[in-house]
Every structure is written in C-alpha cells, then in structure tokens.
C-alpha cells in the first residue's frame, strides 16, 4: 500500500473558509515537507517539519511522529491557494523523500 | 527564495533517441536529486547525488538513466535510449545538506514527451 496517504484527494473550498489536509505515514517518518504545486507545475516549499508545529501566515502545519501523521491547515482560503498540495516524508538516510499522491484544492469565489 | 532552474521546460523526442535534462541547482547546495511525476500521479524518487556519486537510486532509475555534474556545471539526467514510458515531468531538487535537517528546493520541472 501507499507509504504516504494523503486525504482528501480533492477539495473544493469557498473563498474565506478554512480546511485541513492530512497525511498518514506507514513509514517511520523523521521529517515531513509540504509543497504546493501550482497549475503550471512548479513546486513551492511550504513547510519543513520535525515533530511539532509551524505557522506561516494563513497556513499552519503539524507533524506528530508518534501517531505518524501530519496536517496542513488553511485559514481564510484565497483563490491563489488553488493547486495540488503534496506532503513528503523522509524516513531514513540520504534525504529520500516519499511523496503522497497529493490533494487537489480548488478555491472558488 | 533559492531557485533551482531546469532547462528545457518541455522536450519532445522520438522513442529510442537520447535526451539530457539539465538542472542548475542552488549555488551553494551540495546534494542533488531527480524525481519523476507521471501526469496525475504522485512524484517518485529517482536518484540522489553527492560529491560526484550516486548515493541512492530507486527501481525507477533504469539502466538507461545516468546522472552527472561535470565540474560544477549543470546537474544532468541522461536517458539513452528513451522509451515511451519515460514520458513524464522530471523534477530536479537540491539541498545544502543531506539526511535529516535539510530542505529540498525544487525546480519547475521538465516535461518529457517521448513519441
């Protein structure tokens, strides 16, 4: 099965609302990264996490290594938040990231 | 923030030909990576590279694939010969350190279409 499971696979939000994305890991993740892939395909780093939480503007992410999951909360969603969100876990040496399949987010006005 | 540049953005070639994908990593980074993303699917690790050597590669990194970074120039992924199933977007990434405590920075990808 998938080593990194993302949910939901797709999400549609009204502008100004809040939501949360989740990743569950079946590998022993030591660090987690969240990326946003825009419609042009470019990847933007959002968060790099060791166990704990980080916040950046309207985004907040948490990583619980004991319970093997990570979340990404989006507050006051804006149109420019649309894209595919990937989480990726690092579970060993050599910085090999294992990616989830992504959550495709559409924010509508 | 730091930028990784990939050239070209799109490459179309005939099956059986050779192709080289180029990556200009962040200037002071030492670790380099290639990932493959087939349309609509998750990104998959191909290979990472440090100090002139492949550190780790996945099953997707076929014998027809090779990587190098001659004299600090582009970090390249060469496929020779190409096959239809090589059609995908290839993402290059770099980081300043390896292992834990590193942040990978990704390029915008090169879309490879093998006809």
Phi-psi category of A95—alpha, beta or left, where left has phi over 0 and alpha has psi -120 to 50?
left
Interface of A with B in 6-65 (CB under 8 A): 30-31, 33, 35, 40-43, 45, 48, 50
**Least CB-CB distance to A96: which of B42, B48, B103?**
B48
In this prediction, residue A92 carries a pLDDT of 61
Give the structural domain span for A77. Answer: 4-108
Is residue A108 less than 8 Å (CB to CB) from chain B? no
**Domain count of chain A?**
1
Radius of gyration of chain B (CA): 13
Q: What is the pLDDT of residues B50-102, one digit of tens each?
A: 999 998 888 999 999 999 998 878 999 999 999 999 999 999 999 887 655 56
Cross-chain residue pair B43–A48, CB shorter than 8 Å: no
* Mean of all residue pLDDT scores within chain A: 90
- We report the CATH number of the domain holding residue A81 as 2.60.40.10
Better-scored residue on pLDDT, B101 or B4:
B4
Domains of chain B with CATH codes: 7-114 (2.60.40.10)
Cross-chain residue pair A95–B98, CB shorter than 8 Å: yes
Q: What is the pLDDT of residues A32-55, one digit of tens each?
A: 999 998 776 677 889 989 899 999
Residue A4's pLDDT band (boundaries 50, 70, 90)? very high
């Amino acid at each position: 099965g998938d080593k990194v499971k993302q949910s939901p696979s797709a999400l549609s939000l009204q502008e100004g609302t809040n939501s949360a994305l989740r990743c569950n890991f079946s590998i022993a993740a030591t660090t987690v990264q969240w990326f946003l892939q825009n419609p042009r395909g470019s990847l933007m780093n959002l968060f790099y996490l060791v166990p704990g939480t980080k916040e950046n503007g309207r985004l907040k992410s948490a990583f619980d290594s004991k319970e093997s999951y990570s979340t990404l909360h989006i507050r006051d969603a804006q149109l420019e938040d649309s894209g595919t969100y990937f989480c990726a876990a690092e579970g060993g040496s050599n910085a090999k990231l294992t990616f989830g399949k992504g959550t495709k987010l559409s924010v509508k006005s | 923030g730091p930028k990784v540049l990939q050239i070209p953005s799109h490459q179309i070639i005939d099956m059986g030909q050779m192709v080289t994908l180029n990556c200009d990593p962040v200037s002071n980074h030492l670790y380099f990576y290639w990932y493959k993303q087939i349309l609509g699917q998750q990104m998959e690790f191909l290979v990472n590279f440090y100090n002139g050597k492949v550190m780790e590669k996945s099953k997707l990194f076929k014998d027809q694939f090779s990587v190098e970074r001659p004299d600090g120039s582009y970090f390249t992924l060469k496929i020779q010969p190409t096959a239809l199933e090589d059609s995908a977007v290839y993402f290059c990434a770099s980081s300043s350190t390896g292992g834990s405590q590193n942040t990978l920075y990704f390029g915008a990808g090169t879309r490879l279409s093998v006809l």
